[in-house]
Structure 1
Amino acid sequence: MEFSLGQIATILGGTVEGDSSKKVFRLDKIQEGKPGGISFLANEKYEPFLYETEATAVIVSEGFSPSKSFKTTLIRVKDAYLGFTTLLEAYTQITKTTLVGVEEPCYMHSSSSIGENAYRGAFSYIGKNCEIGTGVKIHGHAYVGDRVKIGDGSIIHPGAKICADTIIGKNCEIHPGAVIGSDGFGFAPQPDGTYKTIPQIGNVILEDNVSIGSNSTIDCATMGSTIIKKGAKIDNQVQIAHNVVIGENTVIAAQTGISGSTEIGKNCVIAGKAGIVGHIKIADQTTIGANTGISKTIKTSGQTLFGYMAMDLKDFLKSYSIFKNLDQLQRRVQELEKKG
C-alpha cells in the first residue's frame, strides 16, 4: 500500500515541508531509513541520523530546528512521537481490516454465530453456542470454547485459547499463546496429606479495549467471574489467578503473578516480576516496582512501592543507602569497640 506524504500529513494533522506528492509504503527506523520509507525523530540523540537517512520522509515536532542540511522531506506535527504512534495505529487498522472470510480447514459448530466482516484462519476452532461479533479476527490454530462471547472488532491471535464461558468485550486483543479461562488453582488439603480438586465453575470477563500478551494466563473463577476491566493492558507471561479483579486502565508488565481473589485498582502500574498475594486490595493509581512483593492491602492511592516486602519508595531508598554501607558501618563499630 502506498500513501502520499500529503495523505499522511492529513491523517496526522501536520504539514509537509517539500513535495507532498512523494509516496511511501513502509515504516522505518530513522537509522535504517531507505527510499519509500517514513521514519520519525522524537529523541534528540537520534538527530544525527536525520542528516544521513535515506528515508523518503521523517516526522518531526513543530519546534524542531535542524542544525545542518538533509535530503529527506519533513512532516511537522505537534508531537513527533505521538504522531508516529497515530500513523502506526492507522497502518495496523488498515492491515487488520483486510483480513475477511474463512480459510479452510477450520471449524465452527452450527449452533454458533459470527458477524459480518469477520475472519477465521485455517485450523481455528469455535465450539457450541458461541456469539462472535462483527469484524472479529480469529487467526489460525486459535481455540474458542463453548458458550464464548466475543465483542465487535476483537482479535484472537494464532494459538490463543479461549476456554468455555469466557466473555470478551469490544476491540480486545488476545496475543499468541494466551490462555483465557483455564481452571483456577483450587485444591483442598485432606487429612491423609493429599489434595482434593475444587471444581472451578466460574468464568473470565474481559471488558472493552483489553489487551492480553503472549503466553499470559487468566484463570476462571471458582464461582462468579475473574474480571479484567476496560482498557487494562496485560504484558506477556503474566499469571492472573481465579476471582482476581483488575481495574480500568491498569497496566501489568511481564512475569508478574497475582494470587486469587485480589482486587487491583484502576490506573495502576505494575512492573515486571512483581508478586501479589491473594485476598487483598490495591488502591487506585498505585505503582509497584519490578520484583516487588505485596503482602497486604494498599489503602492509600497514588503510592509508589518498591522492595521485598514492599514499602514506600522513599523509605526503601533511605533504607537501601544504609544497607549498602553496612560493611563500612560494621568496621567502624568494631574499631570503636576496640578503643572502648
Structure 2
Amino acid sequence: MEFTVGQVAEVLRGDVEGDAALRIDRLAKIEEARDGSLTFLANPKYEPQLYTTGASAVIVSRTQELRHPVAATLIRVDDPYTCFTTLLEFYQQASRTGRRGVEEPAFIGPNSTIGENHYRGAFSYIGHDCEIGPDVVIFPHVYIGDRVKIGAGTILYAGVKIYAETVIGARCTVHAGAVIGSDGFGFAPQPDGSYRTIPQIGNVVLEDNVSIGANATIDCATMGSTIIREGSKVDNLVQIAHNVEIGRHTVVASQTGISGSTKIGDFCVLAGQTGLAGHLTLANRTTVTAQSGVGKSIKEEGVFLQGSPAFNLRDSLRANAIFRRLPDLERRLDVLERNLTAPEKS
C-alpha cells in the first residue's frame, strides 16, 4: 500500500510542513525508519532522533519546537500517539482483510446467508441457518456451528471454533484457536459420589468491537447468555465460564480465569493470572492486579485490588511492607521479651 504525505495528513486532519507529494509505503519506529517510512514522535526522550531519522515523514505535535534542522517532512497534529495508532489500525485492517472470495474446499450449510465482500478460507465450515454479514473474513479451518449470527467486518482467524447459537457483533476479532460457546462446567453431584452432567442450553453473545485472544475459551450459559459487552478485550489463554457477564470496554489479561455467573462492570481491568470466584459482582472501573484472587463482590467503583485473597491495594501494599519486616520485628520482640524476663541486678 502506498499513500502520499498529503493523503495521510488529510485523514489525520493534520498540517504538512515540507513535501506533501512524498510517497509513503510503510510505517516504522523512529529509530528504524528509512526512505518511504512514516513514523511519529510522542515521547520527548526520543526528540533527538527526530533530527537523525531516515523517515520520509514524521507525525509530531502542533506544539513541537524544532531545535535543529529536520530533513523529514512533518505532519503536525493535536495528538501524535493517537494519530499513529489510527494509522496502525487502518494498516492492520487493510492488510488482514484484503482477501476476498472463497477458497475450495469450503462448506456452507442450507439456509445460511453471508454478505458481500467476504472471504472464506479453505476447509472452513459454516452450519445451517447462519446469518453472516458483509466484509466478514473467515480464515482456513474455522468451524461455525448452526444458527450462528456474525456481524459485518468481523475476523475469525484460523482454527477458531464457534458453537451453535453464538451471536457475534460487528467488527469483532477472534484469534486463532479460540473456542466460543463450549459447554459450561456444570455437573451435579450424586449420592454415590458420581457426577451428572447438567445440559448447557444457553449461548454466548459478543457485542460489537470485541476482541478475543488466541486459545481463549468462553463457555455458553447454562440458560440465557454468557455476554461480553461492547469494546471489551480478552487476551490469549483466558477462561470465561458459563453465565459470566463482562461490561463495556473492560480488558482481561492472559491466564485469567472467571468462574460462573460472575458479573464484571464497565471499564474494569483484570491483569494477568487473576482468578475470580463464582457469583461475584465487580463494580465499574475495578482494577485487579496480577496474580490476585477475588473471593467477594466489590460494590464501590474505582477500587484497586491486590493479593490472594485480594483486598484494597493500599492496605495490601502496607501489609506486604510489614510482611517483609517480620524477621526484624521478630528479633526485636525477642530482645524485648528477654529484657522483660531478665532478673534485675541489685
TM range (shorter): over 0.9
Residue in structure 1 matched with residue 167 of structure 2 by the alignment? 167
Deviation of 1:73 after TM superposition, in Å, equals 1.9
Q: Which runs of 4+ in 1 moved over 4 A?
A: none
Q: Aligned residue for 2:107?
A: 107
Amino acid aligned to 1:3: F
| Amino acid across the alignment from 1:38 | L
Cα deviation, residue 97, structure 1: 4.9
1:96: Cα distance to partner? 4.6
**Other structure's SS at 1:306 match:** strand
Counterpart of 1:202, as a letter, is G
Match of 1:32, SS state, is coil
Answer whether contact 2:97 2:137 (CA < 8 A) is retained.
no
Q: Which residue of 2 aligns with 1:87?
A: 87
Match in the other structure for 2:255: 255
RMSD: 1.4
- Counterpart of 1:72, as a letter, is A
CA distance in 1, matches of 2:16, 2:44: 21
Using the TM superposition, give the Cα deviation of residue 93 of structure 1 relative to its aligned residue in structure 2, in angstroms.
3.5
Alignment partners' CA distance in 1, 2:106 and 2:207:
27
Provide Cα deviations, 1:177-210, integer angstroms capped at 9, x if missing partner: 1110011111222233322222211110111111
Q: Distance in 2 between matches of 1:111 and 1:196?
A: 35
Residue aligning to 1:221:
221
Partner in structure 1 of residue 328 of structure 2: 328
- Please give the secondary structure, in 1, of the residue aligned with 2:31: helix
List gaps (5 residues or longer) in structure 1. none
State the TM-score, normalized to the length of structure 1. Answer: 0.96
- State the AA in 1 paired with 2:71: K
Residue type of the alignment partner of 1:53? T
Corresponding residue SS for 2:205: strand
* CA–CA separation in structure 2 for the residues paired with 1:206 and 1:315: 36
Question: Structure 1 residue 49: deviation in Å?
Answer: 2.6
Answer whether contact 2:14 2:75 (CA < 8 A) is retained: yes
For 1:63, the equivalent position in structure 2 comes to 63
> Does 2:134 correspond to 1:134?
yes
Q: Which deviations, in whole Å up to 9, do the C-alpha atoms of 1:83-131 show, x marking residues without a partner?
A: 1011112223333553221112211113211111111112211111111
CA displacement at 1:69 relative to structure 2: 3.2
Instruction: Determine the C-alpha separation between the residues in 1 that align with 2:336 and 2:200.
Output: 63
Task: Tell me the matched-pair count.
Answer: 340
Q: Secondary structure at the match of 2:74?
A: strand
1:152 corresponding residue in structure 2: 152
Aligned to 2:231: 231
Alpha-carbon separation, structure 2, partners of 1:107 and 1:31 = 47
Distance 1:156 1:201 in 2: 24
Alignment match, 1:47: 47
Tell me which amino acid in the other structure corresponds to 1:223: M
For residues 60 and 328 of structure 1, what CA distance do their matches in structure 2 show? 53
CA offsets, 1:17-37, max 9 Å, x none?
111110011111111111111
Structure 1: how far apart are the matches of 2:183 and 2:260? Answer: 12
- Quote how far apart the aligned CAs of 1:225 are: 1.0
Distance 1:235 1:95 in 2: 22
Moved more, 140-149 or 59-68: 59-68
Between the aligned partners of 2:260 and 2:67, the Cα distance in structure 1 is 56
Kindly provide the amino acid, as one letter, of the partner of residue 115 in structure 1. Answer: G
Percent of residue pairs bearing the same amino acid type:
59
Distance between the aligned counterparts of 1:123 and 1:30, measured in 2?
41
Read off the aligned partner of 1:112 and give its amino acid letter: S
Rg comparison, structure with higher value: 2
Q: Deviation digits for residues 195-251 of structure 1, max 9, x if unmatched?
A: 222221111011111111111110011111111111111111111000101111111
Deviations 1:40-70 (A, max 9, x none): 1111222233233211111111122233333
Alignment-derived partner of residue 209 in structure 1: 209
